[in-house]
Structure 1
Amino acid sequence: MRPVDVAVLAASADAELRDPAAAVRPVTGATLRASDVRPGDLFAALPGSRAHGADFTAAALAAGAVAILTDPAGAAREAVAQAAVPVLVHEAPRRVLGDLAARIYGDPTARLDVVGVTGTSGKTTVGHMLEAGLAAGGRATGLLGTVTTRIRGAEAPSLFTTPESPDLQALFAVMAERGVTDVAMEVSSHALALDRVAGTRFSVAAFTNLSQDHLDFHRDMDDYFEAKALLFDPSRQGAARRRVVCVDDEWGRRLADRHPDAVTVATTGPADWTAESVHQDDDGTQSFVAARPGGTVPVRLRLPGRYNVANALVALACLDAAGVPAEVAAPRLAELAVPGRMQRVDAGQDFLVVVDYAHKPAAVGALLAALRGQVGGRIVTVLGCGGDRDRGKRPLMGAIAAAGSDLLVVTDDNPRTEDPAAIRRAVREGAEAEPRRGEIVEIGDRRAAIAAAVAAARPGDAVVVAGKGHEKGQEIDGVKHPFDDVDEVRAALRSAGGVHG
């Protein structure tokens, strides 16, 4: 990396530079967390909902920050005004931070082909499919998403679906340095609305679907959609050269109408890429024929559910746009399993158990419908809702889960700072108002709820543990406790007896 002078950064961001005598000071990194500052960093002191980043200036300077980016309110703070480092002042510092970080880290996505995937559900599955397909095409891959971050197969945990812009650009720089050529990346609505992907150049952008989620952050569904649509906006710097849109729902069709040049995919109705001869096997695998301009390709998946056919079509269309033929990529999809996404747990039992991340109404409905079509017995579902999030979806999830289950066990998810009993009550009220409901029980302790569901299962049934998927912890009253649904299912199966762990 080549250090960048503060004056160059100020000019590129059209920011006011205070203390111009220090403008030649070189910057070698960037962060918006004072606790993460390293010597040579630009500290982005951004306004927040609870505190202003400028309040942490002293800690950032003590750690070696050599410049500060902030807004006029932050610049007026005494610690910033008296700082012996140059200060860049901008009315909207978050908006320019991504571009500044990209400049500091050498514009890494100019050397990478980045495929960005957005939508309510399916981002993680499509991301893993893209990684597998790109590798099949001989590309050196990076993966960035909810479950994990991988750089040429080396794995690291993910804290956010899309990291803050300085972390993201630094990560891209590491990927480029390690020889990565292509990156599959999940792009959340938060990341788009908060400019976390500013400074990123996309080669392909993809849309999976849209359903109710994050309405604690977005005003309404239209606002949520518009945030997703930003990934496809050609006026944005770094906008994707090619677009892939699933038009199975009204939101996808609306997006495709805005971008007539987009490649469309669908499992129902007309599109550029469609699924023919879909066949689901009793073991949860499925096959179909992907039909696209120029021919057809047979596809086999280990993942059940019609929505995974849609996910596979999106991935194959993106891979085709990236130069990897579907004939090359499709065989890799047959081998793919995604952590916490329709993840089967098999300990020798005579019933099916799956762990899935479904934590929004449409995803829960699609999950249960997929299993209903593939098992002959009952469906036993374990479900809760997260605290400090969209409260409106709780009764909806309860109703959908009750309608799709023969036995619904209402339990805790991540209560966070809310009263767990109040969350369960909202879920249960929705469930009990559903006229098509099955049996409903409430067991607050998630470990006990999973054990009860496993104990209730009969041969041929399906036990579904939904909501947390790949997560390795449960957050209660602000404290994250170790908790893994897959491990808990295995423990419950061992305790049930007659199976092998």
Structure 2
Amino acid sequence: MLLSELLEGLTFNVTAGNSGNTVNPADVEIKDVVNDNRKITEGSLFLCIQGANFDGHSCAAEAAEKKAGAIVVCHDVELPEGCEMPVVRVEDTRYAMAFISAAYFGHPAKKLKTIGITGTKGKTTTTYLIRDMLQNAGHKVGLIGTIEVIIGDEHIHAENTTPESYMLQYYMSKMVEAGCDSVVMEVSSQGLMLHRSQGFVFDMGIFTNIEPDHIGPNEHKDFEDYMHCKGLLFKQCKVGICNADDPHTEDILEGHTCEVEKYGFSEGADIRAINLAYIHKPGQLGVFFDTDGLINMHAEIRTPGKFSVYNALCAIAVARHFGCTPEEIAPALKEAKVKGRIEMVKVSDDFTLMIDYAHNAMALKSLLTTLKDYHPNRLICLFGCGGNRSRYRRFEMGEVSGKYADFTVITSDNPRFEEPEAIIDDIETGMKKTDGKYIKITDRKEAIRYVIENGEKGDIIVLAGKGHEDYQEIKGVKYHMDERELIQEILDEQ
């Protein structure tokens, strides 16, 4: 492939080594594109990416020694004397990588309907809802998100919510090869900030909601920066589908370049939920509602609360753009399930038990207040906190559970290099700011056994924090641990 084809759409200049002599990119043949110095081969294009701990620019001389076809840089680099290797100078190598990767893989996004979802909560659940709904209507849909990447029948474990642009373009190219006609993906604020989703225009961009999160070192400097990065999606999509009820929606849409439609409960929503009714049966929590506006239908979802309605409304709005009918949408909504997101696990006819990924105070408060609306006999919350992370999260989660749950079981999560008991003590500090009742059981399996054996008629029990994770990280080692398996073991041992 010619270097000129890879650089299409970018502002750049190309010189021969450090000589300053101009090189015509149409004269340079490229055999591969890499951003890992260990993968540099003769004739490859090496992208010098600056990360949190390593700067690829330091490998420029190595690229020359390995006879790379060219390198892409955004600042001066040291090269061997007399080196004539073409050096492509751009303003931002991460931004350039997105466009170069798109060209290298044949612009796969142009062959797919692309749906990008951003927001603090609801991204994962909504991606699966949309995928299930579209597949129910006969589409073949790829998925890229926090839990996994799905390409046809292949499920690939996800490392980041939004992969680096090279891998994103690679995955989309594989989806095209597998016969997918569309892709739905989570687009994180980090992904937007680091240009991972650049190189193409989304057909639809979605905003679920926003609250302060991911603010700190190596993330966002403040809430305004977090909102700004979320808003970048709406300068990179054709249609924006947004939560009408979120107080920050207009801030997110500032400077948008897309058409906008909104969903929610408020009068101004283009698709509005009305006639809300809660479903509460043993082992099942859900919601009935109708929609009014751009589409009129009756819906049932088997996950609880208003936030589940928001996720469903968003999925309905997307499905409408694909021409899906209410008859195709309704059964997909009813059957949709997401591993580790308000995942019901049947253990008794007397009480309801669920697994959820809520792993910070904001998510836990949202979940517990939602479940309170179902008027359980007791709301029981089992959770721990990760080691080598902010201690404030532990204090906050302890305080939230103490305030909103009727009984809390404090246990271990991923202690990493900390002692589980020290983490539990920090959670207890937050608990003691409330009148909440609690018990401490370090071993997570024994903690789960306790809540199952002591469950009462009408209780709702939440196992929070692990969600889809199937491991526990201790002293740098990930040990297999799936809460679904632990529950089954406990039931078999009874």
- Which range, TM-score by smaller chain? 0.7 to 0.9
Question: Counterparts of 1:390-405 in structure 2 under 5 Å?
Answer: 392-405=392-405
Question: Counterparts of 1:351-500 in structure 2 under 5 Å?
Answer: 351-374=351-374, 376-389=376-389, 392-416=392-416, 420-421=420-421, 423-434=423-434, 437-495=435-493, 497=494
1:85–1:324: structure 2 CA closer, same or farther, 3 Å change rule? farther
Structure 1: gaps (5+ residues):
234-238
Match of 1:137 in 2: 137
Q: Which amino acid aligns with 1:223?
A: D
Does structure 2 conserve the Cα–Cα contact (< 8 Å) formed by 1:383 and 1:411? yes
Deviation of 1:42 (Å) = 3.0
Does structure 1 conserve the Cα–Cα contact (< 8 Å) formed by 2:360 and 2:397? yes
Work out the CA distance in 2 between the residues paired with 1:140 and 1:308.
24
Matched, 1:27 2:30: yes
Match of 2:234 in 1: 232
1:13–1:452: structure 2 CA closer, same or farther, 3 Å change rule? same
1:450–1:286: structure 2 CA closer, same or farther, 3 Å change rule? closer
Deviation of 1:365 (Å) = 1.5
1:428–1:82: structure 2 CA closer, same or farther, 3 Å change rule? farther
Q: Which amino acid aligns with 1:17?
A: V
Work out the CA distance in 2 between the residues paired with 1:306 and 1:372.
12
Does structure 2 conserve the Cα–Cα contact (< 8 Å) formed by 1:212 and 1:361? no
Q: Which amino acid aligns with 2:245?
A: D
Does structure 2 conserve the Cα–Cα contact (< 8 Å) formed by 1:387 and 1:415? yes
Work out the CA distance in 1 between the residues paired with 2:317 and 2:65.
50
Matched, 1:208 2:176: no
Match of 2:155 in 1: 155
Matched, 1:53 2:56: yes
- For the residue of structure 2 that corresponds to 1:46, the secondary structure is coil
Matched, 1:222 2:220: no
Match of 2:71 in 1: 68
Deviation of 1:163 (Å) = 0.5
Match of 1:166 in 2: 166
Work out the CA distance in 2 between the residues paired with 1:271 and 1:254.
17
**Identity between Structure 1 and Structure 2 (%):** 31
Deviations 1:143-178 (A, max 9, x none): 111122212343222222111000001111111122
Deviation of 1:56 (Å) = 5.5
Moved more, 133-142 or 11-20: 11-20
Deviations 1:96-127 (A, max 9, x none): 11011111111111111101111111111110
Moved more, 448-457 or 212-221: 448-457
Q: Which amino acid aligns with 2:75?
A: P
1:326–1:96: structure 2 CA closer, same or farther, 3 Å change rule? farther
Matched, 1:339 2:339: yes
Deviation of 1:189 (Å) = 0.9
Deviation of 1:93 (Å) = 0.8
Match of 1:243 in 2: 240
TM-score, normalised via structure 1 length: 0.87
Moved more, 376-385 or 439-448: 439-448
Matched, 1:14 2:16: no
Work out the CA distance in 2 between the residues paired with 1:406 and 1:355.
18
Question: Counterparts of 1:193-204 in structure 2 under 5 Å?
Answer: 193-204=193-204
Q: Which amino acid aligns with 2:406?
A: D
How many equivalent pairs are there? 483
Does structure 2 conserve the Cα–Cα contact (< 8 Å) formed by 1:28 and 1:41? yes
Question: Counterparts of 1:270-285 in structure 2 under 5 Å?
Answer: 270-283=268-281, 284-285=284-285
Deviation of 1:309 (Å) = 0.7
Moved more, 421-430 or 362-371: 421-430
Work out the CA distance in 2 between the residues paired with 1:204 and 1:299.
23
Deviation of 1:326 (Å) = 4.0
1:291–1:411: structure 2 CA closer, same or farther, 3 Å change rule? same
Over aligned residues, Cα RMSD in angstroms? Answer: 3.0
1:57–1:168: structure 2 CA closer, same or farther, 3 Å change rule? same
Moved more, 196-205 or 392-401: 392-401
Work out the CA distance in 2 between the residues paired with 1:371 and 1:431.
19
Match of 1:114 in 2: 114
- For the residue of structure 2 that corresponds to 1:300, the secondary structure is strand
- For the residue of structure 2 that corresponds to 1:225, the secondary structure is helix
Does structure 1 conserve the Cα–Cα contact (< 8 Å) formed by 2:3 and 2:30? yes
Q: Which amino acid aligns with 1:100?
A: I
Work out the CA distance in 2 between the residues paired with 1:422 and 1:37.
45
1:218–1:385: structure 2 CA closer, same or farther, 3 Å change rule? farther
Work out the CA distance in 1 between the residues paired with 2:185 and 2:88.
30
Structure 2: gaps (5+ residues):
17-22
- For the residue of structure 1 that corresponds to 2:50, the secondary structure is coil
Match of 1:96 in 2: 96
Match of 1:123 in 2: 123
Does structure 1 conserve the Cα–Cα contact (< 8 Å) formed by 2:470 and 2:480? yes
TM-score, normalised via structure 2 length: 0.88
